[in-house]
Amino acid sequence: MQFSSVRVITADLKRLVSFYEQVTGMPVTQYTDDFAELRTPLATLAIGSTRTLQLFGGEEVAEAARNRSAILEFRVEDVDSTYAKLADLLGAAIVQKPTTMPWGNRSLLFRDPDGNLVNFFAPITPEARQRLDG
């Protein structure tokens, strides 16, 4: 088995597509008006409109902009320089400025336009690098 993706359900697909293109600097492929993907070498962030819920059993399956338990994490080269580039764009969406975590990662935590938590992180201790790089 291989972990493939996380799908975020949104009421405004175009807004989230634009946001993730801006903060990652990577293209998001929009396949239909209801589905897009940000593909990275390790996993994919899928973005689906609320209309796609009908394909999974109905609107009660998931609710857009209501996540309070997951953090979408992206590994970056340098958290501090990424923060410097994105600080104006993110503004009040920043939850925590760059901080070194006890497990050896430097992290920038912010919310996307739907309120989902996003963590841009980089391992900065030898232990963290070994854990993530094998």
Where in the chain does DSSP place strands (E)? 5-10, 29-32, 35-39, 44-49, 71-75, 94-100, 105-111, 117-123
Rounded to 5 degrees, φ, ψ at 108 are: -120, 120
Q: Note the pLDDT of residue 88.
A: 98
Q: Which domains does the chain have, with CATH numbers?
A: 1-59 (3.10.180.10), 67-134 (3.10.180.10)
Over range 11-32, report the average pLDDT. 98
Taking 90 as the threshold, does the pLDDT of residue 134 lie above it? Answer: no
Instruction: Output DSSP code: residue 77.
Output: S
What is the tens place of the pLDDT at every residue in 85-100? 999 999 999 999 999 9
CA dihedral 56, 119, 23, 35 (to 10 degrees): -10
What is the tens place of the pLDDT at every residue in 34-77? 999 999 999 999 999 999 999 999 999 999 999 989 999 999 99
> Do residues 61 and 48 touch, judged by C-beta distance below 8 A?
no
> Do residues 21 and 29 touch, judged by C-beta distance below 8 A?
no
Instruction: Output DSSP code: residue 113.
Output: T
Over range 19-45, report the average pLDDT. 97
Q: What angle do CA 48, 71, 112 make, to 5 degrees?
A: 60
At 26, the pLDDT band (50, 70, 90 cuts) reads very high
Asked whether the whole model's pTM tops 0.85, one would answer yes
What is the tens place of the pLDDT at every residue in 107-133? 999 999 999 999 999 999 999 999 999
